[in-house]
Amino acid sequence: MFLHSVNFSNLAFYAFMIFMATVGLWDVFFGFEENKCSMSYMFEYPEYQKIELPKKLTKRYPAYELYLYGEGSYAEEHKLLPLTGIPVLFLPGNAGSYKQVRSIGSIALRKAEDIDFRYHFDFFSVNFNEELVALYGGSLQKQTKFVHECIKAILKLYKGQASAPKSVAIIGHSMGGLVARALLTLKNFKQDLINVLITQATPHVAPVMPLDRFITDFYETVNDYWILNAEHINLTTLSVAGGFRDYQVRSGLTFLPKLSHHASALSVVSTAVPKTWVSTDHLSIVWCKQLQLTTVRAFFDLIDADTKQITENPKKKLAVLSHHFIRHPAKHFEDDPSLIVNLTETSVWVPVKVSKWTYVAHNESEKLYFIFPLAHQRKIHTHAYCQSTMLDTNSWVFGCVNTTIVCQQGVDLSWRTELLPTIKSVTLRLQDYPFLSHLVVYVPSVHGSKYAIDCEFFKREARSMQLPVTHLFSFDEITSIYKLQIPWSYEDSLTIAQVPSSTEIPLKLHVAQPDNYSYVALLKMYTSSDCQYEVTIRTSLSQILGQVVRFHGGALPAYIVANILLAYGGQLYSLFSAGHCLEYATMLDKEAKPYKVDPFVIMIKFLLGHKWFKELWDVFLLPELDAIFLTSQSMCFPLVSLILFLFGTCTAHWGGLLSSASVRLLSSAWLALKRPSELPKDIKIMSSDVTILTIVLIIVSWATCGALAILLTYLYYVIKIVHLQAILTNFKNSQTLNPKHTRRSEKKSNHHKDSAAHHLRLSASDAEDSLRMHSTVINLLTWVVLLSMPSLIYWFKNLRYYFKLNPDPCKPLAFILIPTIAILGNTHNISIKSSKFLRTASQFPLPLAIGVIAFGSAQLYRVPSCVFVSLFLHALCNFM
């Protein structure tokens, strides 16, 4: 029935859109580098010591616990409290385990052993019972309050110690990082209780999937507080993203808002973190050895030698984090580095007057200083560049003033060095150092090691070119790419290629370029002059589609529902105008057009730019347009909405095909198990059985979980439709065997129709016509159930602690949806096609589809409400 109504050209289009969507999905889930993270291992058996909390606390939060991590002798010693170290609290994220602390805890323990426990960290971890807080936001506030109590309990463990801490450091993974930021919104929370906050793969900007209003309200509360109180927030915060391997949390969502008053916040992608340089997935970011080593080094550099705790100096904290996570100068961190240093006069000094110089050191017995005069170089060059393959932490580049051959003191320029995977390099703009007469490169005495140093003076204009971004049909060629540097966000990516070879480098962004930002992405080239390179810049369709899915894939359910609503409205109108309901596929082809929806959203967005319209908008208490939020994130492009709409049309088509096939398959199974009765003789909208079932389901919704009641209502509706399909199939089969009996039944049915409108008898044609409408209703209800499932999963997972879900995002919807579906389950087209309200009901799905796109694409929890309105109006036709 469904396939017969499909035009084959449309079928080819839907198949093509499926292919395009598959290409985009492939780029998101497979189009990234292999996992280059080294696994972090424990040297001794990990132990998790449960910290006893006050009974009041355990009674209030029965599902939550606090643990102290340890290994071997350290674990044994610290079973007898109090503690003497520096407290660090780990907060797991969505479905995360408290045991994820073991990687960084073990590495920090090994580091403490290396310095004979002069300093050491005590790692605590909260057990949130692996709650699905990314899907259900009702427990986020509860987690936040529990963490506050944990911090107070942790600090009590150090009472009476000589260097007792007054604050804790927090590492938050995924939603745990958001919970840590939410601590500041609590009324009785003191900001001084946290000294530094590091978040890993935390979506700070917005929820990945806004499936209920509790999540969006929580985000709004946290982000508004941090924005409005930016002047008073002194908490040093670092957010680390995983890059393209993390397809669960897009890296662009992890960037903290850059506020003029809050300069102590840093955001970086793991591919740009020095000594890490790898992309991590959502789970490996907590055990990636390279990243955890960097984090531990930063923690030890944050220690104040006097207090033996993390420093309270905000400038030092920011400097340490910048040193380890943003730009590493290939030197150990120093609080107050000496810029003027004494150079050894007795060493060998070698003058160099060429503009390009290379030196290979091997078994050097003497210290060498190579000195470059700058007077002549300034006349023809703008920059000086040096690189070394010796990755030690000693100073190696200096500047001298008024020197002839030997320099007694020099300016240490090594702090301008940038550490790269295989080299350390420094680039100096000569006009920034007009007081320097010479550049000095230091080569220490080495034994048994070989390394190379290259220096070169060059003119920037001759070494750089600006190219436009290519489009789908353009091809350009330049030479050499190794590093992509994004000036507006720390998401640099490095690629190491061995020559001769062919390497593909994806140039994809995590954060779009801000409006009115003059700087552009920079491709830095580190190449050998002995080789020739050819690099082709081309546009990748698969990566474009991948970026569409990565940035906007979460909005696809809204576009699918909008398409189904358009088809639904078309079916209701065909019932009003022609007296019968057309096939779902036919109406989808006819009604689901992007020009019916997108222009209205664009027009509303344009009008909201005018003050008078914005004031009128606020008078009616209308919510913010989703396109406004996307524009603020530099993510709103008209073509994206068109692509998503077409993807939605395609998914709605194949979803309808699957739904229709499922109903037929289930009805066949029904016939195999039980022979159904005849077509209903009398159509009753609400029988006593249905009324009782409705009341029971409403009680279930109130006493347990609204999503459970919605699911049970959905199953009831599906069973009713499958039963009707089985009756119709059985009737048609009997028609084939006994056509005379069937004709008598049809005549009898028509006689009943004419005799009394309130005692309608359903004919086979009427049943088939009703099934077309019911099939579309099932498609709509399927998405309502899918969007409410997260709270059901959360409730079921925590059933041993709470029988009643509180707060429940689906309860209000369930109360009104249950009776509506109960009515629709007994509604047939013959009983409503003469309704005076049918025309009005058929006109509402279009504005509701516009509303779904306008207000539900970034706030998915609003979509079921729009679906309910259309279903409610449909049910109302039975009474008007």
Q: Cα(140)–Cα(93) distance, rounded to whole angstroms?
A: 11
CA distance 504 to 497: 10
Distance from C-alpha of 830 to C-alpha of 824, rounded to nearest angstrom? 13
Tokens matching residue 113: 């052993």
Task: Give the CA-trace dihedral at 669, 670, 673, 675, to 10 degrees.
Answer: -140
* Rg value, the chain, Cα: 34
- Nearest CA to 854 out of 597, 548, 567 is that of 597
Q: Given the residues 174, 279, 395, 667, select the one marked as catalytic.
A: 174
Give the contacts of 467 (CB within 8 A, at least 6 positions apart).
476, 478, 537
And the tokens for 345? 């006069």
Rounded to an integer, what distance in angstroms lies between the CA atom of residue 521 and that of residue 825? Answer: 58
DSSP state letters, 165-228: -S-EEEEEETHHHHHHHHGGGSTT--GGGEEEEEEES---SS-SS--SHHHHHHHHHHHHHHHH
Q: Are 332 and 394 in contact (CB under 8 A)?
A: no
Tokens of 284: 């490996």
Query: Which residues make Cβ contacts (< 8 Å) with residue 682, sequence separation at least 6?
Result: 759, 760, 761
How many CB atoms within 10 Å of residue 254?
26
Structure tokens at 850: 């516009």
User: By CB neighbour count within 10 A (0-12 exposed, 13-18 middle, 19+ buried), where does 650 fall?
Assistant: buried
DSSP category for residue 126: E
**Amino acid at residue number 587:** M
Distance between CA atoms of 251 and 512, rounded to whole angstroms? 11
284 classed as catalytic: no
Q: Which residues are known catalytic residues?
A: 174
